Amino acid sequence: MKVSKIMTRDVTLLNPDQTICVAASLMAEIDAGALPVGENDRLVGMITDRDIVIRAVAQGKSADTKVADVMSKEVLYCF
């Protein structure tokens, strides 16, 4: 099977400086549990609904916490 058969083509990217509130709202809007985080045309991480719950909400962080503070930074990908 080729990646092109199952990949998403119109990807919505977050910026690492955006808030987790923006990330969660966007996830709800597009019905996604994860979003890539990009900066300067490079993938710098992924943020998931679980990242927001475990690394932010459960630790008492505010909705204004930056995506960069809770995202997963080690991401494997192909292009």
- 15 pLDDT tier (thresholds 50, 70, 90): very high
Q: How many domains does the chain have?
A: 1
pTM: 0.87
In 3-state terms the chain splits into helix, strand, coil percentages (rounded to 5) of 35, 20, 45
Q: What is the pLDDT of residues 18-76, one digit of tens each?
A: 999 999 999 999 999 999 999 999 999 999 999 999 999 999 999 999 999 999 999 98
**Residue 76 domain flag:** no
One-letter amino acid for residue 28 of the chain: A
**Residue 24 domain flag:** yes
For residue 46, what are its two tokens?
């992924």
Helix intervals (H) in 1-79: 3-6, 20-30, 49-55
Determine the structural domain holding residue 32 and report its residue range: 8-69
